[in-house]
Amino acid sequence: MDLSVIHASELKELAANIGCEIPLDRAELLLAYLDAMLEENKSINLTAVREREAAVIFHALDSLAMGNKAFELRPMSCLDLGTGNGFPGVAIACLFPRAKVLLMDRTLKKLKAIERAVATAGFEADQFTTIQMDASEALAHGYGKNFDLITTRAVGPAREMGILSKPLLQKGGQLLCWLSEGVEVAPALPGDLRKAGNLEYTLPAPAERVRRLVSYRRV
């Protein structure tokens, strides 16, 4: 496959290689967001990955790994904790169009840039909500047991994310943690979060690396 210019059909094929099925129109929507995000990145630091094809692999494709059947996701109420540049939260909306996604971050400028990129990409207006907040404050602001899916990517160690996420997850809800190669996968996290799924996969060039996505379910 020629990855010099990645279009929606190529992204769909790359996703299939890691066990994720995404409709062509949703792949187009995800790439539209990525392009809008990269445009925002010219004035606001959202990602250090500035080359489009590397960003497609490192952000869009990596985020789509959650669509693998190993995780059996059917989310309706989702939180992307420390969303940063909108990934993987925006990918949730592409994989699961009925899901409502809360994008949480401490930096208001980033959230405003994400809002503009989401609008430019053409998402439904009510699919996303953004909130400027540290995750440690979420319980005090009424988000206890609100979510059936929480995602965290490049935010912090899984143990810390488990502590923050446990009071926000519904019973049976899942926390998805993206881990780099060599990071130990714990069988459980504090607060009755037990490992429910584990996927190791390799991202292709130009962002080649081994990745691991782990799911912890609140029991």
Domain boundaries, the chain: 8-218
- Ramachandran bin of 216, using left for φ above 0, alpha for ψ from -120 to 50, beta for the remaining angles: beta
Which CATH number does 8-218 carry?
3.40.50.150
In this structure, what token pair is assigned to residue 190?
A: 């504090």
How does residue 8 score in pLDDT terms, banded at 50, 70 and 90? very high
Indicate if the pLDDT at residue 22 is higher than 90: yes
pTM across the whole model: 0.96
pLDDT digits (tens, 9 = 90+) for 71-84: 999 999 999 999 99
Indicate if the pLDDT at residue 2 is higher than 90: no
When the pLDDT of each residue in the chain is averaged and rounded to a whole number, the result is: 95
The mean pLDDT of 45-68, rounded to a whole number, is 97
pLDDT digits (tens, 9 = 90+) for 165-179: 999 999 999 999 999
Inter-residue contact 115 to 100 (CB < 8 Å): no
How does residue 1 score in pLDDT terms, banded at 50, 70 and 90? low
